[in-house]
């Protein structure tokens, strides 16, 4: 046991003396959460639009006022002919143009129908879509106000409720994803690099010719990173709680236990990589390409799994991150307990045991 | 309790690194493996330190079989690999402490064994190992390999890249360790260090050429040896190469070591030949063979 503690102490010296890695280790989660939380979002706020009003009557003015009052749009430009639309888009600031037709009020009263053209800049399709949806719903609201008191024979009114994230905050979607990516990175990449470093420096040769047992070396390598990963997980949860007001509806204990499970899963993957890779560079490349990309692309973090082609959907099942994201979304947003998440948890446990068994089998007690 | 190697062969893919090697190291002996780079010295060390498995043959270290009882060997040997293999970001003292701990001992417990070596680096005990000079690194590595009082010490080219003064000190330390009953197997490419071992094995291309005491090996040189010198060394080598009585001619320091294929060789004939080829300042003197001469002769 004393030997083991001596080994862990040495690992901490390595980690604490490598200032650059330490900075990355703790700087990265904070930077990523803040980046995803503030900068990278699907919401639209204060989008610059232009108005082309051919009627300039009471109704159009009222509609424009409504649009200007919403926090989603700010009217940057008023143009007075079709020819000016193109240059307005080309300058790049304007994301949409609302084009009101001639005699808007008159037509509305006489023909019961008037048209607004919504032109959006679809170089960014998501934003374009969101803009047209938002505009349409503002118009629908206005129409509702107009029809108040009037009797319409048939009417279907959809009432939508957005459960678990009523404000559609994209940070709610990103935090679980970022947490998964960070834990994977810290645990898998850092351990695989730290083990391969011993191989590269030749110290593994001395460790092998010592009474330390292989599992002591491996566990000794892993323990410090468990601690670092747990600290990172706590930082991320605290940031999302206090900076982004993201709720944790479920139990903190379950969240902690599941995170620990995922950390151990990632660590066992890291060990597995280090048994195959012979240099730090390979370990890093394998971790980045083999783990990070699938975690980001196939886990449902950014792209919904249900809209992927079937082969990719099947592939996503073997990615531990997919199951962990389901689990933390469930705990943080839906507030569900283990009774709903036992299946995902079992899958993660199974994967972890598999990786550990495989690394023990692959671990070499000699140089060949 | 020493080392016993019986018919060991080892190949990597198609290259035979060791070809049917056998030798014995007696307990308490300082045994040298002498040979150039690529001779198979490191492979042999790795087999004996249980890091590699030989394709054929058997070996025991301190009485333990290198394959079946590898765990016992790992408890009782000290190993210093050819490349500096300590933690560069740990200080001198932390490195030593770490190795003491993983072998289940403390610096204090075995301090007397490493004392003479460690006192020399103790003033720098708070310095990171990566910032030490070559000689100090070797001393620290030796201290770390000794801290658990091993029965057998394996030193793979411990003096490569170390200055002459530190090399001399290092060998003096090995002599003192030997007196404490530790069996030492050391490899080196430097022939001058061979004379300091009790017995040596000359090794080349995975074959052992000769095993004996340095004295016997030196005296086993089969021919009369001459050292030859002239003003133009390069031309001298070329001309000796085309001389009909030449058996061998190797540069050796500022001289060329020369042997003849003629049993009744007369140095005057050579001087005449060289003068005829326009050489000046010619010196031809008989000299005592060294281990390097024997090695060159054996590997011919």
Probe site for chain A from B42, B83, B87, B151 (most A CB atoms < 10 A):
B87
Mark whether B172 and B291 lie in a shared domain.
Answer: no
pLDDT above 70 covers a percentage of chain B that reads 100
Close Cβ partners of B20 (under 8 Å, ≥ 6 residues apart)? B7, B8, B9, B56, B57
Asked whether the beta carbons of residue B87 and residue A14 sit closer than 8 angstroms, the reply is yes
pLDDT at B112 over 70: yes
What pLDDT, in 10s, does the model give residues A36-94? 777 766 667 788 899 998 888 888 888 898 888 888 888 888 888 888 888 888 887 88
CB-CB: which of A18, A203, A209 is closest to B86? Answer: A203
Mark whether B81 and B180 lie in a shared domain.
Answer: yes
Q: pLDDT at position B28, please?
A: 92
Q: pLDDT at position A202, please?
A: 87
Residues of B in contact with A366 (CB under 8 A): 50-53
Predicted complex ipTM: 0.84
Please report whether residue B256 resides in a domain. yes
Q: pLDDT at position B90, please?
A: 94
Higher-confidence residue of A45 and B266: namely B266
Q: pLDDT at position A362, please?
A: 83
Q: How large is the average pLDDT for residues B62-74?
A: 92
Please report whether residue B103 resides in a domain. yes
Residues of A in contact with B97 (CB under 8 A): 6
Mean pLDDT of chain B: 90
Asked whether the beta carbons of residue A210 and residue B97 sit closer than 8 angstroms, the reply is no
Q: pLDDT at position A103, please?
A: 87
Tell me, yes or no, if A361 comes closer than 8 A to chain B by beta carbon.
Answer: no
Q: pLDDT at position B175, please?
A: 92
Which residue positions in chain A have pLDDT lower than 50? none
Mark whether B168 and B124 lie in a shared domain.
Answer: yes
Q: pLDDT at position A153, please?
A: 62
Mark whether B35 and B125 lie in a shared domain.
Answer: yes
Residues of B in contact with A3 (CB under 8 A): 101-104
Mark whether B190 and B68 lie in a shared domain.
Answer: yes
What pLDDT, in 10s, does the model give residues B11-22? 988 888 999 999
Please report whether residue B160 resides in a domain. yes
pLDDT at B95 over 80: yes
Q: pLDDT at position A149, please?
A: 65
Q: pLDDT at position A41, please?
A: 64
Tell me, yes or no, if A74 comes closer than 8 A to chain B by beta carbon.
Answer: no
CATH number, domain of B268, equals 3.30.70
What pLDDT, in 10s, does the model give residues A152-175? 667 677 777 878 777 767 777 788
Q: pLDDT at position B20, please?
A: 92
Least confident of A41-45, B43-47, B76-80, B213-217: A41-45
Mark whether B155 and B294 lie in a shared domain.
Answer: no
Tell me, yes or no, if A249 comes closer than 8 A to chain B by beta carbon.
Answer: no
Length of chain B: 300
Segments forming the whole domain that contains residue B72: 3-213
Choose the final residue of a domain: B152, B182, B213: B213
Mark whether B188 and B293 lie in a shared domain.
Answer: no
Query: Can you give chain A as a three-state secondary structure string?
Result: CHHHHHHHHHHHHHHHHCHHHHHHHHHHHHHHHHHHHHHCCCCCCCEEEEEEECCCCHHHHHHHHHHHHCCCEEEEEEECCHHHHHHHHHHCCCCEEEEECCCHHHHHHHCCCCCEEEEECCCCHHHHHHHHHHHHHHHHHHHHHHHCCCCCCCCCCCCCCCCCCCCCCHHHHHHHHHHHHHHHHHHHHHHHHHHHHHHHHCHHHHHHCCCCCHHHHHHHHHHHHHHHHHHHHHHHHHHHHHCCCCCCCCCHHHHHHHHHHHHHHHHHHHHHHHHHCCCHHHHHHHHHHHHHHHHHHHCCCCCCHHHCCHHHHHHHCCCHHHHHHHHHHHHHHHCCCHHHHHHHHHHHHHHHHHHHHHHHHHCCCCCC
pLDDT at B123 over 70: yes
Choose the final residue of a domain: B163, B182, B213: B213
Chain A and chain B share a number of CB contacts under 8 A equal to 79
CATH number, domain of B60, equals 3.40.50.300
Q: How large is the average pLDDT for residues B123-149?
A: 91
Tell me, yes or no, if A201 comes closer than 8 A to chain B by beta carbon.
Answer: yes
Mark whether B27 and B140 lie in a shared domain.
Answer: yes
Mark whether B156 and B134 lie in a shared domain.
Answer: yes
Mark whether B184 and B273 lie in a shared domain.
Answer: no
Residues of B in contact with A208 (CB under 8 A): 50-51, 74
Q: pLDDT at position B134, please?
A: 84
Q: Note the pTM of the prediction, 2 decimals.
A: 0.79
Asked whether the beta carbons of residue A10 and residue B83 sit closer than 8 angstroms, the reply is no
pLDDT at B200 over 90: yes
pLDDT at B190 over 80: yes
Please report whether residue B178 resides in a domain. yes
Mark whether B135 and B275 lie in a shared domain.
Answer: no
Please report whether residue B105 resides in a domain. yes
Choose the final residue of a domain: B182, B213, B244: B213
Probe site for chain A from B51, B130, B148, B154 (most A CB atoms < 10 A):
B51
Q: pLDDT at position A304, please?
A: 82
Higher-confidence residue of A168 and B188: namely B188
Contacts for B51-56 with beta carbons within 8 Å, 24 or more apart? B51/A205, B51/A208, B51/A209, B51/A366, B51/A367, B52/A366, B52/A367, B52/A368, B52/B10, B53/A366, B53/A368, B54/B8, B54/B9, B54/B10, B54/B18, B55/B9, B55/B10, B55/B11, B56/B7, B56/B8, B56/B9, B56/B20
Number of domains in chain B: 2
Please report whether residue B218 resides in a domain. no
Please report whether residue B51 resides in a domain. yes
Which class is domain A47-147?
A: alpha beta
């Amino acid at each position: 046991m004393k030997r083991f503690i001596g080994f862990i102490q040495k690992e901490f010296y390595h980690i604490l003396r490598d200032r650059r890695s330490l900075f990355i280790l703790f700087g990265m989660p904070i930077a990523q959460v803040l980046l995803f939380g503030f900068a990278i979002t699907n919401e639209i706020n204060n989008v610059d639009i232009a108005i082309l009003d051919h009627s300039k009557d009471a109704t159009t003015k009222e509609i424009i006022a409504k649009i200007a009052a919403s926090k989603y749009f700010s009217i940057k430009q008023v143009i007075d002919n079709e020819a000016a639309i193109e240059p307005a888009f080309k300058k790049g600031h304007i994301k949409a143009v609302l084009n009101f037709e001639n005699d808007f009020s008159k037509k509305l009263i006489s023909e019961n129908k008037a048209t607004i053209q919504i032109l959006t800049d679809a170089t960014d399709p998501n934003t374009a879509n969101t803009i047209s949806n938002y505009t349409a719903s503002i118009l629908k609201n206005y129409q509702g106000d107009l029809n108040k008191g009037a009797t319409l024979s048939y009417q279907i009114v959809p009432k939508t409720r957005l459960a678990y994230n009523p404000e559609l905050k994209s940070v709610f979607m990103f935090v679980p994803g970022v947490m998964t990516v960070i834990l994977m990175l810290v645990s898998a990449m850092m351990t695989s690099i730290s083990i391969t470093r011993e191989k590269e420096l030749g110290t593994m040769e001395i460790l092998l010719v010592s009474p330390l047992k292989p599992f002591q070396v491996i566990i000794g390598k892993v323990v410090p990173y468990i601690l670092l990963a747990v600290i990172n997980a706590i930082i991320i949860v605290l940031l999302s709680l206090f900076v982004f007001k993201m709720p944790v509806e479920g139990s903190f204990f379950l969240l902690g236990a599941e995170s620990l499970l995922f950390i151990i899963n990632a660590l066992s993957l890291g060990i597995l990589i280090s048994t195959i890779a012979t240099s730090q560079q390979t370990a890093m490349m394998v971790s980045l390409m083999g783990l990070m990309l699938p975690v980001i692309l196939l886990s449902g973090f950014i792209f919904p799994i249900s809209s992927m082609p079937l082969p990719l959907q099947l592939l996503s099942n073997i990615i531990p991150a997919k199951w962990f994201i389901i689990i933390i979304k469930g705990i943080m947003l839906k507030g569900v307990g283990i009774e709903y998440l036992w299946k995902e948890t079992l899958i993660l446990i199974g994967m972890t045991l598999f990786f550990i068994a495989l690394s023990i089998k692959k671990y070499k007690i000699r140089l060949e | 309790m020493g080392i016993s190697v019986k018919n060991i062969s080892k190949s990597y893919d198609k290259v035979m690194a060791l070809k049917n090697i056998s030798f014995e190291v007696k307990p308490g002996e300082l045994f040298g493996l002498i040979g150039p780079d690529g001779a198979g010295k490191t492979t042999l060390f790795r087999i004996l330190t249980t890091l590699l498995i030989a394709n054929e043959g058997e070996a025991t270290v301190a009485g333990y079989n290198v394959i079946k009882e590898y765990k016992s060997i790992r408890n009782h040997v000290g190993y210093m690999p050819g490349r500096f293999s300590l933690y560069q970001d740990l200080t001198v003292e932390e490195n030593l402490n770490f190795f003491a701990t993983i072998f289940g001992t403390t610096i204090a417990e075995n301090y007397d064994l490493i004392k003479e070596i460690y006192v020399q680096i103790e003033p720098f005990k708070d310095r990171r190992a990566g910032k030490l000079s070559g000689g100090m690194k070797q001393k620290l590595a030796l201290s770390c390999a000794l801290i658990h009082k091993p029965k057998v010490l394996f030193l793979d080219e411990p003096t490569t890249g170390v200055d002459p003064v530190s090399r001399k000190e290092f060998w003096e330390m090995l002599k003192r360790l030997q007196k404490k009953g530790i069996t030492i197997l050391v490899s080196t490419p430097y022939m001058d260090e061979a004379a300091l071992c009790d017995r040596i094995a000359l090794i080349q291309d995975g074959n052992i050429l000769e095993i004996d005491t340095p004295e016997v090996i030196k005296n086993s040189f089969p021919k009369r040896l001459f050292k030859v010198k002239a003003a133009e060394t390069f031309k001298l080598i070329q001309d000796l190469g085309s001389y009909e009585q030449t058996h061998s001619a190797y540069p050796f320091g500022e001289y060329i070591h020369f042997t003849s294929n003629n049993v009744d060789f007369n140095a005057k004939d050579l001087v005449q030949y060289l003068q005829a080829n326009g050489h000046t300042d010619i010196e031809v003197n008989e000299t005592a063979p060294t281990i390097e001469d024997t090695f060159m002769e054996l590997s011919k």
